[in-house]
Structures are given as C-alpha cells and as structure tokens.
Amino acid sequence: ARSLPLPTKKESVLTPRQLHVVCALIRCWRTTAPGHGPRPNARLLENVMWIMVGTSARIGEVLGMQRADVDVTTLPATARIGATIRYTKKQGLHRKPAPKRLRQRRRVALPTLAAEAVRDQLVLAGPEPDAYLFATKTGRPLSVSNVERLLRAFVMDNAVELRRADIDVGEFTTHLFRRTAATIVESVGGISLASRLL
C-alpha cells in the first residue's frame, strides 16, 4: 500500500526584526478598535507571543500556566510548563495536569521580554496560587480557540503591513511563535539544545 501524502510542512519563522514589527502592530491594533475604544484582550496577544517565543511552549501550555508555575523573584525568572488547556466533549474546557506528552514537563528560564509578559499577566491574575495567568473575567482559563480567533483577527486587519515585513500571512498561527523560539535557540545554542527546549 502506498503511504498517504502528508500536508506540506510549515517552515516559516520570524526574525528578531519581524518579532518587533509584529509587537508594534499589536500595540497599535489594540488601541484602534473602530468606535469602541481599546480593543479587549489585544494586550494578552502580545504577552502570549512573548511567552511562547521565550519558552517554546505550545499555546495550550501557555494558557494552562498558573501563578504557582512562575517565579519572577529569581534571576532569571522561570516558568514551569507542566499542564495544558484542553477541550473535550466529556469534560468541556479543562486543565490537563501534563503537557502534550508527560515527559515534556520542564522548567524554563525566561528571557527578559517573556519575563515582562509574565509580570504583566500576574498583575491581572487572581491572588490564589492556582489562578490562571490568562483567565476570563470569572477566573476560568481562556480557550485555545479564543486566542487563535483573536490572532486571526489581528492577522486579517494587518495583512498588508505583515506582508510588507516579509511575513508569510498564510502561516501566521500560534505555532509560528514556537518554531521561531526553536530557530533562535538553535542558532545560538545548537540543535540539541533547541530540541531539548521543545
């Protein structure tokens, strides 16, 4: 039997310059919701981006982070990636107490921009150790689909500027940030360190 054709593997990554372009576009976008004042939840999009780039965590793993998982009192600040947000018909939206694979639990040193994003979210999070960094008004975790929908809206509204910066709009998903993190680490520390981080 012949093997089924696999979909084309996405290989786009963002350069450091492109990351700062995206950041500037997000900051401008969140203040220009037509007729509605500041755009809700756009601030968290920037923080999600920097935490994903700084940790190489998947979007569900970032949304699953709780106050007890981060330590910003050390130098460098650290984040424990030990859970993920999932949706199933049986359980609904819930926190699975392990990343995608159990062996992928890890503690990651946070670069400066990721640490700033974590501090920003801690200000908004509840005081309890199990308070989510990214939560709804009722304290429930944000869903992956809500963040991905917000990112798609940002990409649609800024497609021209993103293309002008040589960013592949068709591959601009949350996973782009994870690939970018791996590429940056691989260029500085080698392929084995990048694969360990992933």
Name which of 43, 80, 78, 55 is nearest 65 in CA terms. Answer: 80
Residue type, 17: R
Please determine, for residue 132, whether its predicted confidence score (pLDDT) is greater than 70.
yes
Summary mean pLDDT of the chain? 86
Residue 117 vs residue 38, higher pLDDT: 117
Give pLDDT tens digits for 142-176.
Answer: 999 999 999 999 999 999 999 999 999 999 999 89
pLDDT at 7: 59
13-32: per-residue pLDDT in tens? 889 899 999 999 998 887 76
For residue 173, give the 3-state DSSP assignment. Answer: coil
Model confidence, pTM: 0.85
Using 50, 70 and 90 to split pLDDT, how confident is the model at 39? low
- Residue 18 exposed, middle or buried by CB count within 10 Å (0-12, 13-18, 19+): middle
How confident is the model at residue 196, as a pLDDT? 67
